[in-house]
Structures are given as C-alpha cells and as structure tokens.
Amino acid sequence: MNASVVELIGYVASALVVASFAMKSVVRLRVVSLVGCVVFVTYGSLLGSIPIILTNAAAGLLHLWYLRREFGPHRDLGAVPIAADAPFLLDFLGSHRADIARFHPGFGEPEEGDFVRLLVRDGLPAGAVVGTPDGSTLRLRLDYVMHAFRDSRIGGWLYGPGADVFRKAGFTAVVAEPETEAVRNYLVRSGFASEDGRLVLRLRG
C-alpha cells in the first residue's frame, strides 16, 4: 500500500483518539475511542508494528467490555429518595441550572410535598426526577440527566425495569406536559403515550 495512504490512516486514528477526549458523554467517548483503536490496529498491521497492534487491540477490548456493561442488564442504576430541600439536591440542581433550563425552562426548585428522587449511576449522582403527587398520579415537573450519562439509557430503566420507584410510592400513572420537543421525544421513546394533549405512562403492576 502507498506510504502516504498508510500515513493518512495513522492520522485518522490519532484524530479519532484526540476527538474522543472532547466528548462529554461517556458512551460516545468510548465508541469514538473504540473506532480509533480499530483504525490504529489497521495502521499497525500495515506497518507490521506488533506493539501498536497489541496496545490498541487491548484498549479496544476494554472499551467493548465497558460498553457491554453500560448497556447490559446488570447496570448499577438507582433512584434514591431525597428531601426537596436537601442542601445536596439544591446544590446539584443549581450547578446544572443552565442545562436544566434548556429542557425544562419553567422549572424552578423542588417544592414541599414533591416526589423527589436522585438518579444515580454506579453510586454517583447522574440526575434528578421531581414531580407533584395528585392522588395516584404523579405530575412530572423535572426529569434531568447529566450530559455525561445521557446516552446511558437511564430513562429507559426508570420508566421500564425501574418503574417500581413510582409504584412503591403509590402511583399508577406518570403524567407530563413537556415544555420542549426534546423532552417530549425522550418521554415518548421511554414509553409515554399521548392522551388528551398530555403524555401519560400507565404503571402496570
């Protein structure tokens, strides 16, 4: 193969690895790094360089392992009860206020009597859910996940296998009136259906 083509492949591999460091999402970082590793293995093979091949093959396998864990059934996800006026919660929401406003511009702070859960990933805070109880219905006011975990499908867990979070609190339905199209699309993908102009998730026992 032409030496300039081989060199170009090396530049592409390097660019992919560098680009991965600019990713805010953990999943995207690993996917782009994985592609970079594959290209580097190709580059190493063309050069006949065993160290390049072995190093990047090992790194690629590690990325695959973590990605499998990220989307596998045994992810360490949770929703922890927390008081609406807990200092940690208020500090967490305050530090992400600008990002929250992009999706929930009308949200201020949790109010007394709200249903509040801190979403966690591997024991670390990843987001928050806030809603106002209305009998057996929860009126969703906030469903926020940090950018780094937005590709981790936490919403799919929360409104799917993790929906006991709501059932155990006595709710049979979650109702939302999204302020932005992004949130509407996300909730529809998570299982909500349109009813009388609102989005509703029926919680089956």
Sheet holding 77-81, edge to edge: 77-81, 115-121, 124-134, 137-145, 173-176, 198-202, 193-195
Report whether 167 contacts 203 (CB < 8 A). Answer: yes
Whole-structure pTM value? 0.70
pLDDT above 70 (res 193): yes
DSSP per position, 105-136: TT-----TT-EEEEEEETTEEEEEEEEEEETT
DSSP label of 149: G
Kindly report, residue by residue over 78-117, the tens digit of the pLDDT: 899 999 999 999 999 999 999 999 999 999 999 999 999 9
Kindly report, residue by residue over 35-65, the tens digit of the pLDDT: 888 988 988 888 888 988 899 899 888 888 8
pLDDT above 90 (res 156): no
